[in-house]
Amino acid sequence: MDETPLDHAHRAMAHAPHDDAKRLAWYHCFADTELCLLLTHEPEGETLSPALFELSEGRFALTFDLEERLADFADGTVPYAALPGRVIAAALAGQGIGICVNLEVADSTFVMPPEAVDWLTKALDQRPAEDHARLSGWTTPDDPELARALSAKFAGYPVPAAAIWLVGLRHGPDHASTAVVFVDVKEGFEDPLAKAANEAVLFSGQDPAGIAILFLTAEQADGIEAAGQSLWTPTPEPQPQPKAAPQPPGSDPTRPPRLR
């Protein structure tokens, strides 16, 4: 069985138990991973009934990052719902229910206590800061870890924008800040993109309050290429190849016409 992103994140966390960045990376991976939530019976419309297990630490819902792992645990076919970790956590938050991941079926077994479920849900619901200071110029950012976290967040992401940059903002001789800049975002997509960037900042171990999220037009972002670090650029759409004009029979000496 191939290893999953949660397996990799769990191993990194286990090898560095005092590294907050590795722990946050695991929670970030959990939030973005589609998990199989064990149910008591098949879903009824939009209503789900998670199977809850009593452990020494309290009540827990069981989730697995592969269907095969769920089947191994249950020793057969059982009802489940496939949902992102963030959705499962939000549904269970505030109820004193924890979440077990890959219980007894993988080395990446993790027991998330109820207070951690509540913390994760609140963290994911944070809104990004807005920078209202007057901008007087761009500066080069010096935060490779943050750049990597943001680039990973938007890798393969169908971003409705022209570009995303990490850049320093100069507000005058004595004030500067860091911002994630989205250029020419389609109307209506600002909020989900801002939340995605905010999550990447939070789970990189930084305080989101110190990183502004800006949505600018290409004209407003003029000159950003010289100082900013590109986090994402759209994939060029393949250009349709012109169809070759049909050649008359016998015009290609390597393909003589067929004779009857």
CA dist 87 to 34, 75, 170, 199, 226, Å?
Answer: 9, 26, 38, 15, 39
Query: Which parts of 93-239 fold into alpha helices (H)?
Result: 114-124, 144-154, 190-203, 224-227
Whether 130 is in a domain gets the answer: no
Cα–Cα nearest to 149, from 205, 195, 190: 205
Domain identity same for 178 and 112: no
Domain identity same for 91 and 54: yes
Whether 59 is in a domain gets the answer: yes
Angle at the Cα of 109 from the Cα atoms of 34 and 206, rounded to 5 degrees: 65
Domain identity same for 33 and 119: yes
Whether 170 is in a domain gets the answer: yes
| pLDDT confidence of residue 97 | 96
Residue 208 φ then ψ, to 5°: -60, -25
> Cβ distance 232 to 156 under 8 Å?
no
| pLDDT confidence of residue 80 | 94
Q: Is the pLDDT of residue 245 over 50?
A: yes
Domain identity same for 176 and 204: yes
Domain identity same for 151 and 93: no
pLDDT, averaged across the chain: 85
Could you report the per-residue pLDDT of 104-140, keeping only the tens digit for each?
Answer: 999 999 999 999 999 999 988 877 655 555 566 788 9
Cα–Cα nearest to 127, from 34, 198, 224, 56: 198
